Every structure is written in C-alpha cells, then in structure tokens.
Amino acid sequence: MKGMIYLLRHGRPLLPGDGRFCIGRGSDPKLSDNGRIEAGKLRDCFPDSKRIYCGPLERMRETARIVADNKSEVIVLPGFTDIDVGEWEGISFHEIRQKYPDVYRTRGRDWSIPPVGGERLEAAADRIQVAVMSLACRSRDEAAVITSDGAIRALLWRLMHLDPRRDTMIQVPYGSITVLRFDNGALSVTAMGKLPEDAPDDEEIEELWDLCGTPAKVREHSMAVCEFALDIREKLIPAGIVLSYGRLRTASLLHDVCRSEGNLHAAYAANLLRERGYLPIARLIEQHHDGYIGDTVDESIVLYLADKMTDGTGHVTLEERFGKSLFKCRTDEAKAMHRMRFGRALEARKRIEDITGEL
C-alpha cells in the first residue's frame, strides 16, 4: 500500500503580548487573525479532499474547519494532539529562562531534553508514529492532518534519525506542510515545512528536468509557454486580476517535465510536485492537459491557453494547433477528447480576451 500523508502545522494561535509563550496540549487558544489567514492559504492546497483530519485542540480544529471550507468532513484524531510541556505550559520563554536556567541551557545544547515534567521526545515520537501509521492504513491513498510543531518535530526526529546534540532543532512554520511517503508499512520524509506560496527555484527546476530526463526540445517549449503565460498575466493586472507569479511560472516550466510518460505525464508530474510539498503548483500541472475551466480567470486557465497556443517554441492560433493535432485522433473516443479540449481552449481564450482584448 502506497500513499502520502500531509502533516500541517496549525495557524498562529492568539497569545498575549509578543506571543513568545510555551504552549502544548495544556493550552487551548483560538487562532489569531494571522492564523486564520495562514489556514486560508492551506485551504487552496486541498480543494478536493473529502476529509480533513486534525488533533483535538481548538487551534487545530479551527484550522481544519477553515481548510475544509464546509466542503470536507472534519475528523478529530486524539493521537495528533500537541506535546506535553509540563511545568512550562503557558508561561513566557523569558520566565522559563529565569525559573529554569539550568534545564533551559541544557535543552539549548540537546533538544531531546524535555521541559520540566514534560513529555519525552521518544514518547511523543511513538505516539505520533502510531497515529500516522493508523491514518495511512485508514486513508489508503493520501490524507491531510492538522497537528503541532512539537508533534511534527518528534516524528521527524525519529524518521530522519536526527541527533539532537548535533542537528539543528526542527521548527516548521505556522501554516506549513510536511510530506510523508507511506510505502508498504514504511514512512519517509519527502518535504518539510513548505508554505502554500513556496515554489521551486531555478536550481530545483533544473534538477527536476534532469531527474525526469526532460528532452531539450520539451524544455524549450516549456520556457516558451512560460513566457506567453506570464505575458497574459501582465495583461490581466490592469483589470485587477493579479495571479501568482511563482505558481504560474513554475507550473509553466514543469508542466511537461514528465512528457515521456505520454498521456499520464500530467499525473506523474503532479505527484512529483506533491511529494516536494508544492501542492497548488501540482494541481495546476494536473489540470493543464485536459483543461479546467472554473468560475474565475486563474492560473489554470492561463496555463492551459498558453500551452495550447504554443507549438514548439512558436505562437499559433487555437484553430491552427487543434487542426494540426486532429489527424492523430484515430478513434471516436480520441476525437471526442479532442473536441472537449478544443472547446475548453476556446472558452479560456474568450474569457481572457473579454478582459484584455486581443492576445
């Protein structure tokens, strides 16, 4: 059995003052305004999920409700609660340094040392690992669960074989995504602490092209599609439509990264991006082959149109592009798919031209 588990850190909680407090399972604040914004960004990563899982604390459940957006079932799993921080619960780190100077100093050199009266790292790792394995068997494919920084840290310590005396203590950001691959009973970490707005840099894009053996002609085509897509993006800005530069650029450059896989190339590429924690970009790549026309002009529509109006590295009309590809359709099913894609491309062009004028 194979699949992916997405561990999401909840949004920023509402805390007094500057928020520099130690909280674990014994504190239950709601999300702050910024925390709700962070949760809203996570919502864009899981638009099709039937279920969103979470730990039992309010900051986890509130994040889950925002991610679910009244479209997904929220299921609370007690095993994903925060760690127990013992006597440090709810007090500021300034006060902790004053009251527990020796433990605080020792913990700075070895982050496996628990807070006074708190949960040991091994115990937390055991608890979270059992919860993740149970969820992996339950979901069978992929699942998203909202939990805490401490819980994620404990599991990553176990899975990545970290040395708390030598390796930097893991701290994933609020509203971030850590990705685990589940493969025949084994867990491995494929991405850590990715934010929804993150995108691969040019070095990672080159790495992905090399990893997938993307031919030079396909890379050149992708760069031409990217240039066209970003040009459309610029033309939409005066109308108040501001699309994500990073998502659109990356999805354009990587939409054909697995082109050698034929009709499955979009699915293969999307899975590759999901494993690395780039979920919104993966969704754009997944949609680019057959096209997805939603209610608004978004990155998906722009990428689909730019790809269909780029033949090799040159711009063509939709009529030219689809007229050229029609002869490849040998079956009635293939011809029907061709008509569907052509219709969606025409709809995408009309929507954009209604806003920008001629492309």
Task: Report pLDDT digits (tens) over 236-286.
Answer: 999 999 999 999 999 999 999 998 888 789 999 999 999 999 999 999 999
Range of the structural domain that residue 348 is part of: 202-356
Please give the full DSSP string across 121-138, using - where no structure is assigned.
Answer: HHHHHHHHHHHHHHHHHH
Q: Which residues pair with 100 in a beta bridge?
A: none
pLDDT tens digits for range 80-95: 999 999 999 999 999 9
What average pLDDT score do residues 306-319 get? 94
Q: For position 184, what pLDDT does the model report?
A: 84
Question: What is the torsional sign of CA 192, 282, 293, 315?
Answer: positive
What average pLDDT score do residues 65-82 get? 96
For the purposes of burial, counting CB atoms within 10 Å of the CB of 34, is it exposed (0-12), middle (13-18) or buried (19 or more)? middle
Neighbouring C-beta atoms of residue 120, cutoff 10 Å: 14
Residue 8 and residue 72 share a domain: yes
CATH number, domain of 47, equals 3.40.50.1240
Phi, psi of 146, rounded to the nearest 5 degrees? -95, 125
pLDDT tens digits for range 142-190: 999 999 999 999 999 999 999 999 999 999 999 999 999 998 889 999 9
pLDDT tens digits for range 196-216: 999 999 999 999 999 999 999
Residue 230 and residue 176 share a domain: no
**pLDDT category, 191, cuts 50, 70, 90?**
very high
Residue 19, pLDDT above cutoff 90: no
3-state secondary structure of 100: coil
Residue 208 and residue 188 share a domain: no
**pLDDT category, 121, cuts 50, 70, 90?**
very high
Residue 181 and residue 226 share a domain: no
For the chain, the domain total comes to 2
Q: For position 72, what pLDDT does the model report?
A: 94
Among residues 194, 215, 240, the one where a domain terminates is 194
pLDDT tens digits for range 52-62: 999 999 999 99
Q: Which residue has the higher pLDDT, 358 or 227?
A: 227
- Contact between 230 and 183 (Cβ < 8 Å): no
Q: What angle do CA 129, 130, 134 make, to 5 degrees?
A: 115
Model confidence, pTM: 0.92
Q: For position 185, what pLDDT does the model report?
A: 83
Q: What is the mean pLDDT of the chain?
A: 93
Among residues 145, 178, 194, the one where a domain terminates is 194
CA pair distance 134, 126, nearest whole angstrom: 12
Q: For position 350, what pLDDT does the model report?
A: 94
CA dihedral 45, 50, 56, 58 (to 10 degrees): 60
Q: For position 357, what pLDDT does the model report?
A: 87
CA pair distance 285, 252, nearest whole angstrom: 8
Residue 66 and residue 171 share a domain: yes
- Contact between 139 and 2 (Cβ < 8 Å): no
Residue 166 and residue 19 share a domain: yes
- What is the percent of the chain with per-residue pLDDT over 90, rounded to a whole number? 82
Token pair of 329 as six digits: 């359709």
Among residues 194, 229, 264, the one where a domain terminates is 194
3-state secondary structure of 328: helix
Residue 225 and residue 322 share a domain: yes
CATH number, domain of 333, equals 1.10.3210.10
Residue 18, pLDDT above cutoff 80: no
Residue 306 and residue 170 share a domain: no
Q: For position 1, what pLDDT does the model report?
A: 65
Residue 36 and residue 76 share a domain: yes
Residue 347 and residue 208 share a domain: yes
Which of 125-139, 225-239, 344-358 has maximum average pLDDT?
225-239
**pLDDT category, 100, cuts 50, 70, 90?**
very high
Q: For position 167, what pLDDT does the model report?
A: 95
Residue 139, pLDDT above cutoff 80: no
Residue 160 and residue 37 share a domain: yes
Residue 188 and residue 258 share a domain: no
Question: What is the torsional sign of CA 205, 286, 257, 218?
Answer: negative
Q: For position 44, what pLDDT does the model report?
A: 87
Residue 303, pLDDT above cutoff 80: yes
- Contact between 66 and 38 (Cβ < 8 Å): no
- Contact between 53 and 80 (Cβ < 8 Å): yes
